[in-house]
Every structure is written in structure tokens, then in C-alpha cells.
Structure 1
Amino acid sequence: MIEVWDPVVRLGHWVLVGGFLTAYLTEGEPEWLHTGAGYAVAATVGLRVVWGFIGPQHARFTDFVRAPRHALAYLSGLASGSAPRFVGHNPAGGLMALALLASLGATAFTGMAMIAQEGEGPLAPFMGPAATASVAIVSPALADDHEWSEHRDGRSGSETGEGWEEAHELFANLTLILMALHLFGVIASSLAHRENLVRAMIDGRKAT
């Protein structure tokens, strides 16, 4: 038995699972729990991306990111019972890891962009009402029409917030689907290669 998954990978994996499910199931109530879980996911995604370049061998993207044809060949072999075993991520699992990181990152970003429209969160200085006001160019002919201007700005902000909310829900549902597919793949690979991949992600150890 050798250590394949280092503590950063293992802890990050379970933080992403727990953080996403917490945020998804709470649906914003209570808000502090939903946003807190979202921040945990965002921070972990950022750390995992960095770790993919500077971490140990099996944590690096160069170790498991392969062309889609390799993933298809592995899945075909898995179906026929001839798929080779990999100590680290198999080609399909590697692409799924990238897809999950991208989808989780997009979910977290759109969530922060959504609350930024209300002047809250880390993106508020860049995407919130204050940022919008600082770059707005008001036509002199309409400068005195305060009622129209306020109506226009309020409507625009509402539409922008609704757009980010729809995108947030889209990526959240996409992430849930990817997680289900990932779980199915873990079960299939565990059975095919007669190893417990879930336990390996807990203690970090796999057979050579």
C-alpha cells in the first residue's frame, strides 16, 4: 500500500462534497449557512487549482489530464471488463475532476455575482451598485430626469440579478448531475478493479 492522495487533495475533496451539498440543500435558508458553504467551495476550488500545478505527483493535472479519446477508451474497456487500472485518476476520472472543478467554480462565482448586485460579498466592489454607478455615463439631456433614471437603474439591476440567479441555478444543477455521474464511475471502477476508491479518498492509500 502506498499513499496516493495527499491530505490537501483528500480534505479538499470532502470539503467540496460537504460544502456543495450544504449549499444546495439549504437553498439560501439560512442565508449565512448557504453563503458560508459557497465561500468554502470557492476557496477550495481555488486551492485545488493551484495544487494541481505545485502539489505532489498524483495531485498534479499533468498526472491525470488526458485527451477525451483516452477517457472514451477507458470507459469502453470498463464496459467490456478490460479497462487498465491506474494508481491515480483514470482518464475518465481525470476529465470528470476537471469538469467538477469548473462547474463548482462557476456555481460559486455566479452565486457571489448574484449577491454582489445587492452590494454584498467579495465581488460587490467590482460588480455591485457602487461599481456600476462609478462607470455610469448619464446623458446631460436626462440628467434632471431623476425619476426616469432611478426607474431605469432599478430595472437594470433587477434584470442583472435575475440573470445571475438563473446562471447560479443552472450551474448548481449541472454540478449535481456531474456528482451523480462521478459517483457512478467510482462504483464501477471500484468493482472493476476490486478496490475501494471511497476509502482511498479517506486514508489516501491504494495498492501498488
Structure 2
Amino acid sequence: MSASVRVWDPLVRIAHWTLVASVAVAWVTGDDWQAPHELAGYLAAGVVATRILWGFVGPVHARFTDFVRGPAAILAYLRDVLAGRERRHLGHNPAGGAMILALLATVLGLGLTGWMATTDRFWGAEWLEELHEILANGLLLLIALHVGGVLLASLREGDNLIFAMFTGRKRVDAARH
């Protein structure tokens, strides 16, 4: 059995799965059940706000400085993925870091547009409802890409990243970062 190390702390893991559940509830309830839809949206926005704060003060692998990279590093990593020579990362790889930022920003955008739609100033504003729907559909696309990336990385690196997001642990024997 390979040695493992804790990579993702409990707050990161709880936030991840709470966000998964709240987005799922918000998506399923949609326009049909307003109260649970709004509650799920506010929960998701709160989780994202907490995760952003934790990205500055949390443990090393929770911090944005550990996994957020610039466009050149992200593109180089994606080229390496296409060539089948990507490096394994103990925390998030550069593409994963970019995906986290995209997911967090999109959920915040959804929370903001959803809240705005409940205010007197923007009640019934069609452009806002359309923006909210565009963000929701964009989030579904990002989620599909995220899950695909997790499955690809799990296969290529020999780690079960879904299981790791429950346990917080990854094997260390081949990690180079």
C-alpha cells in the first residue's frame, strides 16, 4: 500500500460537498420551488465566500497561492496533458486551480444575480433573469469539464480523486509537487 498524506482539510472537503449538494438542489428546484431554490443559492454563495476566505488563511493546499497559476502555466500544463506527460501535483494542478476559480466566480455570479432578482429595483428585469440562466448553464458546463478533468487525472495519475475529496488523502509516492 502506498503512503498517503492529508492534502485537503475538513473545511475544504465539507465546503466542496456542500456546494455540490446546494447546486444540485438549486438546479432541481429551478423556477418550480422558489423557497428551496433561494435557500440553496444562498447556501452556495455562503460556502463560496467561506472558501474564498479559507483560500487566504487555510492550510497550504487550501491556499490560492498553492494552486492558482497564470495563463502560461495553465496552457503549458494542458499541452503536457495532451502530450501525455503532465506532472502529478499533490494538490490541485494548474488546470484544476483555474477551474476552481471559474466555478467559484460563476457560483458567486449566480448568487448575486439571484439575490438581485428579489430586490425591488430589479424585480422582473428580463436581462437579469437571462444572465442568471446563462450563468446557470455555464455552471453546468464547468461542472461537466471539472468532473471530466477529475476522471482523467484519476486515470492518468493512479489516484481516485473523488475518494480523496472524501478522505482528504492522496498517495505521496509519485508526487512531484
TM-score (norm 2): 0.91
Checking the alignment, whether the CA contact within 8 Å between 1:28 and 1:35 is kept in structure 2 is no
| Cα pair 1:78 1:192 within 8 Å, conserved | no
Q: Is the 8 Å Cα contact of residues 23 and 34 (structure 1) preserved in structure 2? A: yes
Q: Is the 8 A contact 1:58 1:64 kept in 2?
A: yes
2:141 matched residue in structure 1:
177
Does residue 103 (structure 1) correspond to residue 72 (structure 2)? The answer is no
Identical positions, percent: 46
Please give the residue correspondences for 1:1-208 in structure 2 after superposition, counting only pairs within 5 Å. 1-117=4-120, 127=121, 158=124, 161-208=125-172
Question: Separation in 2 of the partners of 1:28 and 1:35?
Answer: 10
Contact 1:96 1:182 in 2 (8 A): yes
Unmatched segments (≥5 aa) in structure 2 = 173-177
SS at match of 1:28: coil
Shift in Å at residue 28 of structure 1?
Answer: 2.6
The match for 2:175 is none
Relative contact order higher in (CA < 8 Å, ≥ 6 apart): 2
Instruction: Provide the alpha-carbon RMSD of the alignment.
Output: 1.2
Count of residue correspondences: 169
Partner Cα distance (1:29, 1:40) in 2: 18
Cα deviation for residue 79 of structure 1 reads 2.0
Counterparts of 1:11 and 1:76 in 2: how far apart (Å)? 32
Q: Distance in 1 between matches of 2:87 and 2:10?
A: 26
Larger Rg: 1
Query: Any runs of at least 4 consecutive aligned residues in structure 1 with deviations exceeding 6 A, and if so which?
Result: none
Structure 1: tracts of 5 or more residues without a match:
118-126, 129-156
Kindly provide the CA deviation profile for residues 32-60 of structure 1, in whole angstroms up to 9, marking residues without a partner as x.
11111001101001000100000000000
Alpha-carbon shift at residue 6 of structure 1 (Å)? 0.5
Q: Relative to total residues, which structure has the larger helix share, 1 or 2?
A: 1
